[in-house]
Amino acid sequence: MSGAGEEVVTAEEAGARLDRWIKRRASLTQGEIEKLLRTGDVRVDGTKVKANHRLQLGETVRLPPAITKPAVSAKPARSRPTDAADAEFLRGLIIHEDDEMIALNKPAGLAVQGGTRQGRHIDGLTEALSHKGHRPRLVHRLDKDTSGVLVLARTPAAAARLGNLFRGRDIQKVYWAVTVGVPSPREGQVRSWMVKGTGRGEQKEMMRAARQGEPGARHAITDYVLVSQAAQRAAWLALKPETGRTHQLRFHMQEIGTAILGDRKYKTAREVPTGCAPGLHLHARALVLPGGAATGRRRPLTLTAPLPPHMAQTFNTLGFIESEAGTDPLALF
């Protein structure tokens, strides 16, 4: 604190939205914060700003003295309280950690965030990994039934930097999938327009093909390459999404006639090979973060997640050998 009701933004919180920064210090609703900003009772470097203002290192935030005290939230907890077992569980998933991030190998079947009919989820457990008063924050998502690399930011500043990298497509992603059938050609790029369905029940949660210019339509691009195959029954593909649309990889694999094994939404009419494990066979194998000024890293960082048990079992059944993919996840492309 630099004075009564004033606080200087630290490096760990640089990049945070002002309203979220305030909520960590006071039990105020969003409406109450907006009012304080409109009246000028809260200012940044003496200037009135909006709630979505991104704080910069060294800026001074002036708060009314009455609210500069530890917040006692009147809101219900987002999930059950975390405990030592949660911390042990999450620690067992860590594949990389440093001052900026924690990377987990998310299990298939565990949701990333809460929602309808969701119970335990990653976002509800991250309190167990809090450090220096900061709870790790999600900076991207994986479907519930998709396993693999999931990145959490340790601080608001790290969340802002990493979030920008994900939104700007500066982070390269490689997924592994087992498909029913073998794609032709053996490698290529899938381009399509897709939009969220408007039907009833499950149809509302699925994407469908769309026309350019159709309301809500988004363009999606996926590169794929065949790593190995089991006759014409199944294939092991490496997938590299150039865009990040909901269900993009699952939708695109169904579009080219080789739906992902175990996908209960984007299904296939082909005969499924016997002896394969149940569950969606889609795994976020690797993330490659660039080096340079954008990340402050001297060289690129590759995060790699081991296969989940059900995919390892299917690999064994179909005769796929992981070493066939090599050690560089991007080399296949």
**One-letter amino acid of 128:** A
Q: Closest by alpha carbon to 34, among 54, 16, 48, 13? A: 48
**Which residues contact residue 243 at a Cβ distance below 8 angstroms, ignoring those fewer than 6 apart?**
169, 218, 219, 220, 221, 222
Please say whether the beta carbons of 138 and 123 come within 8 A: yes
**Which residues contact residue 128 at a Cβ distance below 8 angstroms, ignoring those fewer than 6 apart?**
82, 83, 84, 86, 87, 90
Q: Does 143 qualify as catalytic in the annotation? A: yes
Q: Closest by alpha carbon to 251, among 202, 191, 200, 308? A: 191
Name the burial class of residue 77, with classes exposed (0-12), middle (13-18) and buried (19+) by CB atoms within 10 angstroms of its CB.
Answer: exposed
Please say whether the beta carbons of 158 and 212 come within 8 A: no
Please say whether the beta carbons of 277 and 311 come within 8 A: yes
| Catalytic residue (one of 143, 170, 223, 328) | 143
Residues assigned a catalytic role: 143
